[in-house]
């Protein structure tokens, strides 16, 4: 069965987006600093050497994506293709018209648990890649997020959008793996149930 895993790069002070995050400035000011460990300054993805490269391989081996509406619409649904797998978007509003051009994108109107169940079915025996702070918070709240892969970047943003700004209750985590590189410390956690 699939495992749902949040993959998120985050500043040491907990920000996943910089200040002034808006549709015309996705990710906010200096957002790419959080992704420099696997994205060039001009926005091209690359496979880092060593263990960090294995993390990129892991992301690309996932069987489906569950992503928040705000996140997916800021990147125009990745043009309908996030490494060739189905993309599920939990939302209470209908999708924008452009989604009709993206057969791999499905908007799910009946909640985060249903969206995750659909994403896990689509993933088969591979993992579900989870994106988006709000979506991660709702998935934790609903008990459907299994693991968190946090790429802790050695920078303090001071402001912006936090990953876990509002949680309904304390969530206990178990450290599964730590990979330390000069660009980031990659920490994998399992949600304790």
Reading the block at residue 166, the tokens are 């509002």
Closest listed residue to residue 149, CA positions, set 169, 131, 170, 137: 131
Domain count, the chain: 1
pLDDT digits (tens, 9 = 90+) for 102-128: 999 999 999 999 999 999 999 999 999
Work out the pLDDT band at 189, boundaries 50, 70, 90: very high
pLDDT of residue 101: 92
Residue 24, domain extent: 4-191
Q: What pLDDT does residue 76 have? A: 86
**Residue 49 buriedness (CB in 10 A; 0-12 / 13-18 / 19+):** exposed
Determine the pLDDT at residue 125. 96
Q: Taking the chain, what is the end-to-end CA distance rounded to the nearest angstrom?
A: 17
Nearest to 86 by CA among 110, 67, 70, 113: 67
CATH number at residue 178: 3.40.430.10
């Amino acid at each position: 069965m699939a495992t749902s895993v949040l993959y998120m790069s985050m500043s040491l002070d907990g920000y996943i987006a910089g200040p002034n995050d808006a549709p015309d400035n996705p990710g906010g000011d200096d957002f790419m600093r959080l992704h420099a460990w696997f994205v060039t300054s001009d926005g091209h993805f690359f496979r880092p050497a060593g263990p960090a490269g294995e993390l990129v391989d892991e992301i690309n081996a996932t069987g489906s994506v569950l992503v928040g509406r705000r996140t997916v619409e800021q990147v125009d649904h990745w043009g309908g293709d996030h490494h060739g797998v189905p993309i599920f978007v939990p939302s209470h509003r209908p999708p924008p018209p452009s989604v009709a051009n993206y057969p791999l994108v499905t908007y799910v109107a009946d909640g985060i648990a249903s969206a995750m169940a659909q994403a896990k079915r689509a993933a088969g025996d591979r993992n579900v890649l989870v994106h988006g702070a709000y979506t991660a918070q709702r998935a934790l709240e609903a008990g459907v997020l299994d693991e968190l892969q946090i790429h802790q970047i050695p920078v303090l943003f001071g402001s912006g959008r936090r990953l876990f700004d509002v949680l309904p209750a304390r969530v206990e985590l178990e450290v599964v793996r730590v990979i330390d590189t000069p660009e980031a410390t990659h920490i994998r956690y399992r949600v304790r149930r």
